[in-house]
Amino acid sequence: MAKNKVRSCSDVGFNMTPMIDCVFQLIIFFILVGQVANDAYAQHVKLVRPVESQAIPNTKAKFLNKVTVNVVSAAAGQEHPDPADAATMKFYQILTVKYNPGEIDRMIDVIRKQKADYERQLGTSASPAAGAGGKEGDEKMFFLEVRADERVNWQDVAPVIRAGVEAGISKLNITALTAQK
């Protein structure tokens, strides 16, 4: 009687190398493409991409000499929002602090304080950060960055610009998406 050949379990094996290669490629991709979260930027702000955008990519500018005011829509994060909701401003946000529409004076105080802090720091620092404009004269200027949802009404963004003027800021940058390549 013929004996049945029994194969030991150790004979069966998977070739793991290609799988590990792929997995590492994926990890490297996600690490490189992923962006570090920035406290100054509110989530779910739908920015405009203007025709032939003149926006200078943020990678060319450093972030020390500015105050960013986010204008967040009531429809932020919604897939199919009601147009009326989208046009309504929910809150302003500076860093992680949110401000209601009636708190413009409080916002002006915060902007003024950040500007004063920067100027104090500038007095002790030998090499200040470059401005977003990239021009020689812009280097030391403290600027106001308006990062507003493209759907909100102008009447909700105008107070931010006025707050910048009130706080004595002379440079305004508008956040937009850069030109498509």
Amino acid at position 112, single letter: R
Residue closer to another protein, measured from CB, 1 or 30: 30
C-alpha distances out from residue 91 to 66, 71, 114, 159, Å: 20, 6, 20, 12
**How far apart are the C-alpha atoms of 142 and 119, rounded to whole Å?**
8
Minimal distance, residue 1 CB to another protein, in Å: 29
Write out the binding residues for another protein, residues 131-160 only, by CB under 8 A.
Answer: 131-133, 138, 144-145, 148-158
Looking at the Cβ atoms of 6 and 154, the one nearer to another protein is 154
Which residues are bridge partners to 70 per DSSP?
A: 93, 147
In the chain the first and final C-alpha atoms are separated, in Å, by 75
Query: What is the helix (H) or strand (E) element at residue 108, kind and residue range?
Result: helix 104-124
Q: Which of residues 3-42 bind another protein (CB under 8 A)?
A: 16, 20, 23-24, 26-27, 30-31, 33-35, 41
Q: Is 71 in the site for another protein (CB under 8 A)?
A: yes
Rounded Cα distance, 118 and 95, in Å: 15
Choice between 14 and 126, CB closer to another protein: 14
175 binds another protein (CB under 8 A): yes
In the complex, the residues that contact another protein under the rule CB under 8 A are 16, 20, 23-24, 26-27, 30-31, 33-35, 41, 47-59, 61, 71, 83, 87, 131-133, 138, 144-145, 148-158, 161, 164-166, 168-178
